[in-house]
Structure 1
Amino acid sequence: MKKSLLAPVGFFTHMNIRGKLLISYFILIFFPLALLTTISYKNVSSDYEKQILHSADQSFDQAYTFLNYKVNTLIKASDVIYFNADVQTILARKKEEFENDYVQQNIDRLKLENFLSSFQNSEDVYRASLYVPGWFMYAAQNFNFYDKDSFSHTQSYQRLMASKDKVNWLPPHTITNNSSSLDPVQVISLLRKIRNTEQTTEYIGMIELSILKENIEAMIQKANITYDGVVYIQNSHGDIVSCSNLQNLNRIDPNTELIKGLQNNDTTWNNAAFGNSDYVIKARAIENTDWTMVTAIPYTEIYSQSIRIRDLMLVLMLVCGLISYGLAYFITGATVKRIQLLRKKMRLVQEGFLNVEVNSKIHDEIGDLTDSFNHMVKRIKLLVDEQYQNGKEIKNLELKALQAQINPHFLYNTLEMINWKAIDNDVPEIAVISQSLAKFYKLSLNKGKDIVSLEDELDHIRIYVKIQNLRFDDKIKLAIDIDPDLYSCAILKLILQPIVENAIIHGIREYRDKEKGSITITGYPDKHDLVLIVKDDGVGMPQDKAEEILANGNPADEVHGYGVRNINHRIKLCYGQEYGLTYRSSPGNGTRVEIRIPAIHPSK
């Protein structure tokens, strides 16, 4: 626990000065603004919730009154039709007396049509229809008249006959239009049984009064005062009679059981959860129907206005914070800018760049540090230059010492060989040996110059191997595979001969199972570099021992190991640390030496 508390403290302690100041500004600016935003949001949310629920109450009551009026209008119209003498008389006619009396039936039809049409002259009743016995000649008209016998097989008929209510209400369905085009329209219908007033146990027909669904929906839509909320009417079977927004209705998936529990408490709003959202809902049963009018408003919309205010305050808080941070950044920048510049220059010196100087025109504490830094860098640079010159002179002296000795053992052995050849054989090879030896030393000394062409260096190697073959009976095969275009490249002299000599003496000669050995020299350009590779098929060595040659010399032969290490140091001194030798070897697979130097063409 203590460590977890100390971690932020330690982080803050080691933070830069500007970071500490900005954190202080954050605490002093954003904390009060966040507190103010929270308090304002809570107050506004409470007030806005009361306002929106009050408005929703008024709209709900207005729509409820309208629906009651429509329902009562249809019921009163059904009363008039029910007790009409002509309707009672015509529907009570006997089949055996009037089935074939088409004249009387036609008169009856006209009389009923005129009577029903009188109800279809307002927005209250869109269609007035009767279900008549199937033997009536106009029973299949399907406009003002329908076949009662065919209707008796439907679920709506079964519900009507089983109901003890005065009227039943059909869910929304489609009928043909009153106009000549007969376009289908959506209606909501009242259905009522007609008893014979003279014989009350006999049902002689049914009344269907329809009202346009769009008239109901128009009022329902006006009752919905929110964007994501919904007002809808649902019957006792769970059918949706009308709704203000079908998409919003699908989100809440109406629950009839929940609505039944709210019908008796129609003056208050209740909380309910639909899906992943919370709603406030209100429900009220519509008299003389099995309908329930419901309005549901999501909490997110109730708080939308307060959320907008909250978002505005957050934006203002962010703007104020950014402006304050900008000012703080500018003010602190004037103080820490020079420190950051000094730190940046120090890091450059740490990485090895000594051509660094910091300009300072202000003579305060930071100015004193800057002057001291500049003096220190100049002193370091002077010391490094002196060390470099001393090192270069030492290496040149070592090279001259190496050139002076040019392997006396090799010279002695060669002269001895010439001597024995002269004694044992009277052959012209002696002249060849003498000429080769003379040319070898001529190329080695090169009039004291350190830079030669790649072509001269390769000629030097060819002569050297030729002399060695005279000594070892042509047991060494030399192959050179380098593009002649690279022959003009300028290189340090004597960087191949010590490597080839190591390959012969420590590689090929020590391979007892092989009579002959080969040395291959290849080269190729690599971007701005020249890569030379000397590869032999000698005994090889472990990789760690190969790497030790460049690090500590070859313990087996200090003279040759010193020569290879000297080559590597000369290349790095002349061209840079990224250049030099790389050894690759393994026992029985020979040795591969890679030489990387810059590709320098004197003519370019």
Structure 2
Amino acid sequence: MKGFAKFIGGISIKNKIFISNILIIVVFISTQSIFANTISQKAIIDKATNNSSRELVLIKNNLQTLLSSIEDYSKILASDYRLQNALYYDYLLNNEPNAIKPVEGLNNLSMNKTLSETISNIVEPNTKIKAVSILTSNQHWVDVGFADNAYAARLFGYGYGADDRTYLPIWTGLIKFRFLYEGEDNVFAVSKTVIHKDTGKTIGRIFLYVKETTIASIYEEGKNKGGEFYIVDADGRIISAQNKAMLYRDFKEAASISIPDDGKDASFTQGSGSQEMLILTHRFEPLKWTIVSAIPMKEITSERKEINQLIIGIGAACLLLALMVSFQLSRSITSPIFRLAKTMREIRTGKMQVRSSYQSTDEIGYLSEGFNNLMDRIEALMAENVEKQRTKAEIEFKLLQSQVKPHFLYNTVETIISLIKLGLGKQAITAAQYMANFYKISLSKGNDIISIGEEMRLTESYLEIQQLRYVEYMAYTMDIDDDILTYSIPKLTLQPIVENAIYHGLKLKQEKGIVRVTGRRSGNHIEIEIYDNGAGMHKDQAKAITAESGVPAEGGGFGIRSVSNRIRMLYGDRYGLQVESEFGVYTKIIIVLPLRPQ
């Protein structure tokens, strides 16, 4: 031991540093080579998992949009006055002996023509609905030239179930159905009871048929290379797949994949060797379906070989460079090092403007200059980071606007088109006027700050349009004190919160509820309250919504969090959002703003 210490003591400081650096670098490069394969594979799998997860979320959102559109058409058709009159005449003909009866029933040619014209507006090619059947109160299936109603009678029967008095559309699972001119096909059926608007009597039931290929087209357009998508129902049957031969089969048996039965989204690998698969599942709660993505691991990790070669090449280059730098650094390590260390100690005390005064053409001079350049860059990056933090909330708000406006425009135009097709011209004009008012105010000549009065009119226009679409789900009230209408508010502050109340509050509860907007002055600030008696939230969800960072909570958390961050950015941490909620009962969000004239 003494001999080794003596040997080390006899080596110059330059060589000590050089040898130490070489040993450290060699160990580091060796360790990196050992774990490079594992690390690169994990990074590739993580990237594929994230991409697939985002794709499944997009598929789920598109599926929700499609199903909501089909349900909207069923509600619109069930409330169409022409269909109601035709079915009510048939009801009187067969159920009210003392009532004034029409000359003929549904077999009358003009009556069948009326129903055909009504139904033709909401089937292909105008919509994604393949065909429609009608079951009258007299247990008669009406044939209007699209669906095979004799087949429908054998499939659905002639009676009404216990749920026929509900106001909600009811979806079947995947079924075989026969069309008059195309034969049998795989379809989903959604049925809706027709209730007479004046008498409240059940006068019939409508059945809308959507082909499985329409559902499958949602995920077939942008599917992963080498991957497969499936939609599985609550019983584990495959109800949609790219390979149609797998339909109706048990998913575990057909695909050899086991889905967790806890109802939560999951990602995991299954199998081994060439059969190993990356599996991701997303739950589609409205119909208790599960969307499954299965990607072979060999497709995901095909890039690993190239990455390993790149890592080895970079490691060798780094090792060569390290040898050269270590040799140069070890040549002169006396007084310049201490001077540089002194400068570093001053910077650690908070004197960020201090720079090394050592200047030379040797390696330490180069290090001193590099250190000064690095500190200049760090100082610049710190200033840039402060500016980025200021604009972060604004960027999130712009992103929210870019999502809201096209989505809202699309849904509103779809509603107006549906109203026009059904001959509801006045309602279509009203919807168009509200849409025009919404966009007129939301544009506001490029101003991001508007008056509370303008924000309320914008929100009212949005609510009126949503009420046209979801009349069975929602009602709303607005009560704003006049003395706060002239004060300023960031544009589109209320709309994301109101939208969240409708889509993630009232709709999830599946019964009619209310959205209440109130505003008042409280001391030296303004409080605007949005209340809904919908599905509510758990405490951790409510806390995540107003968090300044992190992953947005499910159920509309991104939009609300963007609003909260933007208010704090504009006015300070004293202002923002306060969330109060009880799961299954209500949600109340209070917006606190300063008293600032527009």
TM-score clears 0.5: no
Q: So what's the TM-score if we normalise by structure 2?
A: 0.38
